[in-house]
Amino acid sequence: MRLNNKRPAAQPTLPSIPSKVSRFGNATATVPVQRMGRLAGTTTATATASTTASTVTKRPLAARPLPRAATTAAASATATRTKPASGGASGGAASSAAPKRIAPYDFKARFHDLLDKHKVLKTKYEKQVEDMGELESLPTQLEETQTKLIETESSLKNVQTDNDCLNRQVKQQAKNIETITTSLGRAKEELSELQTNHKQIKMEHESLTAEVLQLRQRTEDLLRSNEQQAKDLETCKEQLFQSNMERKELHNLVMDLRGNIRVFCRIRPPLPSELDRNRCTYIYHDEATVELQSMDGQAKNKMGQQIFSFDQVFYPTSTQTDIFEMVSPLIQSALDGYNICIFAYGQTGSGKTYTMDGVPSELGVIPRTVDLLFDSIKGYRNLGWEYEIKATFLEIYNEVLYDLLSNEQKDMEIRMAKNNKNDIYVSNITEETVADPHHLRQLMLMARQNRATASTAGNERSSRSHAVTKLQLIGRHAEKQEVSVGSINLVDLAGSESPKTSIRMTETKSINRSLSELTNVILALLQKQDHIPYRNSKLTHLLMPSLGGNSKTLMFINVSPFQDCFQESVKSLRFAASVHSCKIPKAKRNRYMASSNTVPALNSSSSLGSNSNMSSSFDK
Annotated binding site for ATP: 346-353
DSSP 165-201: HHHHHHHHHHHHHHHHHHHHHHHHHHHHHHHHHHHHH
Q: What's the farthest any 2 CA atoms get from each other in the chain?
A: 160
Tell me if residue 210 falls in helix, strand or coil: helix
d(CA 292, CA 77): 128
d(CA 39, CA 268): 122
d(CA 589, CA 187): 74
d(CA 561, CA 541): 32
User: Residues in the chain, how many?
Assistant: 620
* Phi–psi pair at 384, nearest 5 degrees: 95, 5
Torsional class of 119: left (φ above 0), alpha (ψ -120 to 50), beta (otherwise) = alpha
Closest C-alpha among 37, 28, 128 to residue 81: 37
Binding residues: 346-353
Closest C-alpha among 335, 334, 425, 412 to residue 612: 425
Are 576 and 605 in contact by the 8 Å Cβ rule? The answer is no
Q: Are strands 281-286 and 432-434 parallel, antiparallel or unpaired?
A: unpaired
DSSP 419-439: S-TT-EEETT---EEE-SHHH
Supply the DSSP symbol for 503: S
> Roughly how many angstroms between the first and final C-alpha of the chain, as a whole number?
123
Are 582 and 526 in contact by the 8 Å Cβ rule? The answer is yes
Are 316 and 355 in contact by the 8 Å Cβ rule? The answer is no
Sequence-distant (6+) residues with CB within 8 A of 164 are none
